Chains A and B, each alone.
Chain A
Amino acid sequence: MSEPPERSITRDHGLALLRGMLFIRRFEEKAAELYTLGKIRGFLHLYIGEEAIAVGATRALGPEDAVVATYREHGQALARGIPPGAVMAEMYGKANGCSGGRGGSMHLFDASRRFFGGYAIVGGGLPIAVGLGLADWLQNRSRVTACFFGDGAVAEGEFHESLNLAALWKLPVLFLCENNLYAMGTALARAQSQTDLAAKAGAYLVPSERVDGMDVFAVERATARAAAAVREGGGPQFIEFLTYRFRAHSMYDPELYRTKEEVAEWKKKDPIASCRAELTRLGLIGEVDLAAIEAQVAREVDAAVAEAEAGPWEPVSDLTLHVYMRREAETR
């Protein structure tokens, strides 16, 4: 690390990070509540506990860069700037959702922000990211494709094929592994002979590093460094973020596979509380700021919910849209 965080953090910067994480937290708490009310159905995978990664990592990206994410992607979508109302409406399945309501929580898209989805087949987004990188490379564009995935994806063949291909062709892909220690209910050590995931990337000669995913400042610094290396044409980079999901895998998960003590231990490393404490320690923020952020976030979450509530349902007559570009193509 070239400089200690104290020197690089300004008040505005710190507030932006804190606010970004808090927004995701409150947004998802509201989503969970709406789930119990039946407003949101299907699977809902909460990111709570892992917010530092989406917020810290997306700050390293510019508007021309691309993001490929997983089915646990509310955090990345919001951090990337997809309007919260459009994300909430998507969870409702409304036509004003960011995917027109067709995708739901697991399949958030916003082509205008180069947010290329929510992939719910574990590992399935990695080849797509490699292809986006290939397109940029072939067109001599200095762009980065950031590809988020979890520790579970590392067990998939697509992980190995994609890292090899990206490294072989020196493609501008930033592989960001969110290691929350469980592939659904299967602990990493129960699924992997080698639990050092950065070492796996190293086997493909992809420069890799392991970073504390609960420290938003560390995430931001590491991602900025790696993104710069990718942008300079050095080929892919890999970061393993150590993190933990505080909530169940999905709303159906009774959490039989981990202890309350373990969860409690990780909650002590809450990325939002840590960030707040750090900014307070540095004298950059005070209680007034926190109250102001909370109030503003609450208003924006309420506004997102109102937008989702007010959104229209797509008419059933539109059912067969978006299968092909031209609708008649499928119904000859």
Chain B
Amino acid sequence: MKVTYREALRAALREALANDPRVFLMGEDVGRYGGSYAVSHGLLEEFGPERVRDTPLSESAFLGAGIGAAIGGMRPIVELMTVNFSLLALDQIVNNAATLRHMSGGQLGIPLVVRMATGGGRQLAAQHSHSLEGWYAHIPGIKVLTPATVTDARGMLGAALREPDPVFIFEHAMLYPTEGDLDEDALPLAEISRAAVRRVGGDVSLITYGGSLGKTLAAAATLAEHGIDAEVIDLRTLRPLDTPAILSSVAKTHRAVVIDEAWQTGSFAAEIAAQIGEGAFFELDGPVRRVCSVEVPMPYPKHLEDAALPQPQRIVEVAEEMLRRHG
């Protein structure tokens, strides 16, 4: 069945609200406006204002209220409009959500789900376009999911709500209108700690997640035309990281390119490269390469934004370079 990423998320929210009276959604413009990306459109009418709660622009207070409500027995879903805005709630996320179980010696659990849009590509300039999920993946105590397909968009929310700990879901803003095949069989027990092989190949491992998956698959298709058989790994979850899946792909292909829309310095791509270096060094035919965003705040003009973001052509070039050099 074909659905859009947005519809898949909405179906997941609707199912969660319908199945569990403890679940409620809160965030900026999730109700009357229908969600800034229209994900929650129609849910206010269906579930009422108590369970689809519009908040003031107080990211710290309503994220923290989500933590408190979770302690109080609810299953809140908090929507932060974008990852750039989530920084206003960083105190609650890093100092409370991620620490309360630990600081209380295991007495408190925070079954909280936080969703937000991430990523660039829509000419929204330098305060709406960044990919900071790697920062969140740095923090022990929370889990970080990056659904890249409509099936994961549909399935990961339910899985996140079953978690006893805070789960952060990063939805790449370019994905909302994209359409894909919903794999109903994969839904009921969507596993959230395993990577997925999206394309099987033997020459090079292209390791990516979220909004970069489509670009990476496009690059793999081009590489195939050039006689290079790329394997595409979709990490799906940045924390906990499925390191064995990465290492076993690299053991097969002996080459790895990491594609990550964040800036390269200190990026999650660096973590992947380090994991490969530590766990599969002797399997490698050459250095691990990274395709990340250029180190500049996101520019507004289309041609500059395109140049700043990872693009399929660049992935192809890097992979071909590796095969030429080390093939």
Contact = CB atoms under 8 A, between A and B. Distances in A.
Interface of A: 66, 97-103, 107, 109-111, 116-119, 121, 124, 126-136, 138-139, 145, 157-158, 161-162, 164-165, 168, 321-326, 329-332
Nearest to B88: A157
Given A100-B105, A127-B64, A139 B73 contact: yes
Contacts of A100: 104-107
B193 A107 contact: no
Contact of B105 (A99, A139, A161): A99
22 contacts: A102-B102, A103-B105, A111-B108, A119-B95, A121-B91, A121-B95, A124-B91, A127-B64, A131-B65, A134-B74, A135-B68, A135-B73, A139-B72, A161-B58, A161-B62, A165-B62, A322-B102, A322-B105, A323-B141, A324-B141, A324-B165, A325-B165
A107 B103 contact: yes
Given A158-B91, A325-B109, 18 more contacts: A99-B107, A100-B106, A102-B102, A102-B104, A109-B108, A124-B91, A126-B61, A127-B60, A129-B68, A131-B68, A138-B69, A145-B68, A161-B60, A165-B62, A322-B102, A324-B141, A325-B165, A332-B241
Interface of B: 24, 50, 55-56, 58, 60-74, 76, 91-92, 95-96, 100-109, 140-141, 143, 164-165, 193, 239-244
Contacts of B242: 332
A321 to B, nearest CB: 7
A50 B313 CA distance: 66
A138 B103 contact: no
B187 to A, nearest CB: 22
Nearest to A127: B64
Contacts of A124: 64, 91-92, 95-96
A165 B92 contact: no
Given A130-B61, A168-B56, A111 B104 contact: yes
B241 A127 contact: no
A322 B99 CA distance: 9
A117 B244 CA distance: 38
A124 B204 CA distance: 47
A325 B101 contact: yes
B61 A132 contact: no
Nearest to B78: A131
Contacts of A66: 72
A28 B327 CA distance: 70
Contact of B101 (A121, A139, A323): A323
Given A117-B103, A158-B60, A329-B240, A134 B68 contact: yes
B82 to A, nearest CB: 18
Contacts of B164: 324-326
Contact of A117 (B65, B104, B240): B104
A97 B67 contact: no
A127 B59 CA distance: 10
B198 to A, nearest CB: 20
Contacts of B68: 116, 127-135, 145
Contacts of A322: 101-102, 104-106
Contacts of B244: 332
